[in-house]
Structure 1
Amino acid sequence: MRDMDLDAFIVPRADAHQGEYVADADARLAWLTGFTGSAGFAIVTRDRAGVFIDGRYRVQVRQQIDTAHFTPVNWPETRPSAWLCEALPEGGRVGFDPWLHTRKEILAMEQGLDGSGVGLIGVDANPIDAIWPDRPAPPVGAARAHDDALAGESSAQKRARLAKSLRDDGQAAAFLSLPDSISWLLNIRGSDVPKNPIVQGFAVLSDDGHVALFADPAKFDGDLRAHLGDEVAILHPEGLPAALLDLEGPVRIDPATAPEAAFRLLERAGTGIALAPDPAILPKARKTMAELDGMRAAHRRDGAAMVRLLAWLDEQDPTTLTEIDVVRKLEALRIEQGIIDISFDTIMGAGPNGAIVHYRVTKASDRRLQTGQMLLIDSGGQYPDGTTDITRTLPLGQPSLDTIAPYTAVLRGMVAVCRARFPKGVAGAHIDALARQFLWQQGLDYDHGTGHGVGAALCVHEGPVRISRASNIALEPGMILSNEPGYYREGAFGIRIENLIVVRIVEAEQGRDMLGFETLTLCPIDMRAVDRTALSRDETAWIDTYHARVRDEISPLVDAATRDWLFRATSPIG
């Protein structure tokens, strides 16, 4: 930093593609600080270092970082600009890597620093890379074709549709930096990042439907090149800066997702810029009928794996098992159902570990299960035809009295969202309170969104829609979201119940467009910790109807002993 004349440097969790999961070569924050959460960043000055984390990671960060060197900072309550203004003198120089931050991030930081005398300096070389002696090589996972029949639309059709939208808006091209957008557009899948079947790269979509894909050519064999066709050129990533300098505009580019470096290159060339969202992001969120059919099929197979796990768990003495034992069992059952990979690191939180929202068991943290504790299982699979994400929380033996009220409130909130009907134009921010209302009545809440978007055989966390106070994007038919309220008591237990749901059209009076949800996830909800007297008649009816559907769809897929367990687990409560 002294050599670069910097007083501070920002170390984000993100890579150049702003992915939630990053390749080992891009895990700079984890390498420097030890913090492995999927969101956060560090700011390092010459005499202090803060690790900024939101409410999901405030327990985890203290377990992973060395507080003699790094200080946890609650974010967004503490803005990075405010922290920098306090930490640096006037005239302080704050370095950042323009490839690792979006234009939106940088503008927000500059606005926060306005008038402070502290300046942001984009650097050509990342100083973390200069001190990382054994930095892994970039990923070179093989890419593969995603069947048009599963996508419901060919890449040529998608490219033509998006190219027409560019022409209609008077734009000559669009710059794409999100690997899931590129993978969706080209009907390809990859193995560059664990648990996310994406191909890392950048792309330029022209208004005639041609695509220049900047990705390692070694990932693409002859069959895949034939699948892509002559309208898709595969170019080495090193050629991207020159290509951006040569583009004729206006070029559509998303300030919320594209790296600041791409803006600087286009501005240097004098190329006209059209600020607009990634043109693939909303079309990708609106799933085709073929994608929905694939997701339904994947959820049936995944439901069979989950039911087999839960039936097996009920037969065990929990004290003979550890969290890792259960993780291995579940992943083996999913392999039998044909997964390509898990869709994220399985969260298997026993007792106090369940209170860590994004807990990941390691050999060091592995807990032996104990009778009387709660076990939170949040997991999912990547299947060729769909992506799953499910959470179930169950008592190991008789539930403790202090878990019953919050568990019941979480369940009622999850059911409220599943049962919701709402007019066209409603956004996730309007739905979020439905999930929290029963917790709020008890003076309780949770520090994460109620739901995230989910890809179809793509990333389990997919933008731009979510069920969250921060989401103002209208929900539309075909959008898939998670529905996962929770409650976490630090040092004691965690509760979360999650189903995936898809937005659909529902019956309404003439002239009014109404939407609701179809539930995709097929697995019993553990009722042992439920105060059934607190359930309304409608809530009880929904649970019984859901369990009857689970029983009908999953029972043919499991063995006789598991089927007997399933019938008991889904017996009517009304």
Structure 2
Amino acid sequence: MFQDFDVSNRPDQGPPRIAALRAELAARGLDAFLVPRADAHQGEYVADRDARLAWLTAFSGSAGICAVSAAGTALFVDGRYTLQARAQVDSSISVHEIPAAKLSNWLVETLKPGAVVGFDPWLHTQAEVERLRKAFGASDLSLKPVSNPLDAVWTDRPDPPKGKAQTYPDALAGASAAQKRVRIAKDLRAADQAWAVLSLPDSICWLLNIRGSDIPRIPIVQCFALIEAASGDVRLFVDPAKLDGVALDGVDILPPDGLVAALANLSGPVRVDRDSAPFIVGQTLAEAGIDVAWDMDPCLLPKARKSDAEIAATRAAHLRDGAAMCEFLCWLDAQLDDVTNGARLTEIDVVRALEGFRRATNALRDISFDTIAGTGPNGAITHYRVSQDSNRAVASGDLLLVDSGGQYVDGTTDITRTMAVGAPDAAQVAAFTRVLKGMIAISRARWPKGLAGRDLDALARAPLWMAGQDYGHGTGHGVGVYLSVHEGPQRLSRQSEIALEPGMILSNEPGYYREGAWGIRIENLVVVRPAPALATADADRDMLSFETLTWVPIDRRLIDAGVLSPGERAWIDGYHRDVAARMAGKLSARAADWLARATAPL
């Protein structure tokens, strides 16, 4: 499953393709055009057909936006991708890190008054367009929805994906598709909404209990849907060939290009998510005089609140995946010992080996994202993906960061472990221990119902803050069940205002990154559950807590036990006891011996 990702700028990317796009813009009377890393479904991964940003610039990260004008080309990425973007794109493309740098400011400073900025209304949400128009202020710039000019110059653009769909078992889902449709329809009626537009494929797959194969890593069917409040019936806009052999009661199958025409004939109010639906949805409804109810995708929260069946299945998936990880770490420890004696081990070797251990379960459907294996300075690139060009040999004194996951029918996993290569130095141990303290703080947290991810995020950062350190990503993201490994709306993040509720699965992954040297991240998945009762009569609030789902040892060689509190030390020793107990009977003799040493008390 390893893919050799070519991060070098091909000769025909960058300037030649940008020049062709500029000529097309001039022919259309546009002064600039926006090229986001997005498809019509706002997915994290995009099909080859929709990889416009990578085609134009060679930047292969999962988030970013490029502005092309006659005066210059600018690429805007967040802190996860700044180093990667600068390494991948041509020097004629300026790279800017958001949120410090803003696309709107660059456009205002670069373009002349009265300039017209074109955008593809399928690739931007209502919220994005509204924010950009507001940011333009009195600049006299205008945004104009247009058919995509990049597609006109991309002459060998790939065909749409045609992956086959399959039925997802009701027993694993915890409810039938019919029951889910009834539930969503009831919610719509309660909100006095006649229809809802569903543009997120993972929402539609969850609703209809189907999974697909259109996109690598995420088992979705690319499609749009409308659900009617009165009946709960669904109109599904999809290539019917994808559904061969899949029975969908209460669902009308319509051509994939029929959404716009169908929208214009609905009765309102129509529920549309301004943060995920393409701009053209609201535009079409407004032009037809149909009332729009701007509201969250009605499937998001029900999907996030996992059923008991989904949680039980996910626990089983994590035990299987944990055994594969333990076999891998046993193998890796032996390899790292050899490295300290002069043997050669590369990042690609690590990726291939790990994916091999997961395949050996005979249950793996796919990896859940492209495996991150970064050693030394590559570990400091948060979303690093190894290529033949960047492939680095592991060296004594390095830290090796491995972030990976698997897609199984019964669950989606995501785990990060950071390992010492040889004897770690004092700075590595100190930073690792601070990251561990933050990860333990989240694992042990208890909080009143109603709090959001933003209220807990600081718990993970506090030990780093005390040392003048921090990390540039959120502490955790939501995770689906045999769906997207990055699932909304729940997050552990300073930006998240979504209340955490029982059944929500999240990652717990604080980190620390020293640019040019090494990176540290420790990640377990957790699920929100009612907190165990306290042995005190004074408790007067309903509380929530996290149940840990991931069972894999944490590298004890990097822990300074002397700076852990008694409670933190008890947690890590208890966690390792639980890992040993849950892995009992699941490992080879060699891995079982390794695990006994790896889970010994501090």
**Deviation (angstroms), 1:50:** 0.5
Determine if contact 2:71/2:110 at 8 Å carries over to the other structure: no
- Who is 1:396 aligned against? 421
Tell me which of 400, 405, 430 is aligned to 2:430.
405
Q: State the match for 1:437 in structure 2.
A: 462
The residue that corresponds to 2:572 in the other structure is: 543
Aligned position for 1:451: 476
Structure 2 residue 93 is matched with structure 1 residue 74:
no
CA contact (8 A) 1:555 1:566 kept: no
2 CA distance for matches of 1:97 and 1:268?
A: 17
Normalization by structure 1: what TM-score?
0.98
1:27 is matched with which residue?
51
* Partner of residue 187, structure 1: 209
What is the CA-CA distance between 1:158 and the residue it aligns to? 0.4
Partners of 1:377 and 1:547 in 2: how far apart? 19
Q: Which amino acid in the other structure matches residue 140 of structure 2?
A: G
What do you get for the CA RMSD once the two structures are aligned?
A: 0.9
Shift of 1:12: 0.4
The residue type equivalent to 1:488 in the other structure is Y
Structure 2 unpaired stretches of 5+: 1-24
Per the TM alignment, residue 510 of structure 1 is displaced from its structure 2 partner at its CA by 5.5
Deviation at 1:218, TM superposition (A): 1.0
Superposed displacement of residue 530, structure 1: 1.3
Find 2:346's aligned residue among 313, 322, 332. Answer: 322
Query: How far does residue 216 in structure 1 lie from its aligned partner after superposition?
Result: 1.1
Secondary structure of 1:3's counterpart equals helix
Amino acid in structure 2 at the alignment position of 1:527: R
Q: When the two structures are superposed, what TM-score results if normalisation uses the length of structure 2? A: 0.93
User: Which residue identity is paired with 2:478?
Assistant: G
1:463 aligns with 2:485: no
Q: How does 1:78-157 map to 2 (within 5 A)?
A: 78-123=101-146, 125-157=147-179
Deviation per CA, 1:292-328: give whole Å up to 9, x if none: 0111000000000110011011112234211111111
Alignment map for 1:437-516 (pairs within 5 Å): 437-506=462-531, 507-508=533-534, 511-516=540-545
> Offset of 1:529 from its aligned partner?
1.3
State which of 244, 247, 266 in structure 2 corresponds to 1:221: 244
Could you tell me which runs of 5 or more consecutive residues in structure 1 were left unpaired when the two chains were aligned. Answer: none
Aligned residue number for residue 237 of structure 1:
256
Cα distance in 1, alignment partners of residues 420 and 66 from structure 2: 37
**Which of 347, 350, 353 is the aligned partner of 2:372?**
347
Distance in 2 of aligned mates of 1:112 and 1:468: 24
Q: Write the letter of the residue equivalent to 1:75.
A: I
Tell me the residue number matched to 2:583: 554
Provide, for residues 83-131 of structure 1, a one-character-per-residue CA deviation record: whole Å limited to 9, x for no partner: 11100010011000000000000000000112111100110x2111111
Separation of aligned partners in 2, 1:83 and 1:437 = 34
Matched, 1:196 2:221: no
274, 279, 293: which is aligned to 1:255? 274
Match of 1:278 in 2: 297
Contact persistence 2:168–2:209 (CA under 8 A): yes
Tell me the secondary structure at the aligned position of residue 482 of structure 2.
Answer: coil
Aligned-pair distance for 1:133? 2.1
Deviation at 1:241, TM superposition (A): 1.0
**2: CA distance, partners of 1:195 / 1:375:** 23
My pick for the range that moved more, 171-180 or 509-518, is 509-518
Aligned counterpart for 2:307 among listed residues 274, 288, 294 = 288
User: Which of 537, 544, 547 is the equivalent residue of 1:518?
Assistant: 547
User: C-alpha separation between the residues in 2 aligned to 1:404 and 1:329?
Assistant: 26
Partners of 1:150 and 1:290 within 8 A in 2: yes
Instruction: Give SS of 2:227's match.
Output: strand
User: 3-state SS of the aligned residue for 1:237?
Assistant: coil
Residues in 1 aligned to 2:429 and 2:576: alpha-carbon distance in whole angstroms: 20
Task: Name the SS for the 2:151 alignment partner.
Answer: helix
> Take 2:256 and 2:244, find their aligned partners in 1: how far apart are those partners?
17
The aligned residue for residue 423 of structure 1 is 448
Q: Which residue of 2 aligns with 1:212?
A: 235
**Which residue in 2 is equivalent to 1:18?**
42
Q: Aligned letter for 2:187?
A: S
What is the SS of the residue equivalent to 2:253? strand
Q: Percent identity over the alignment?
A: 58
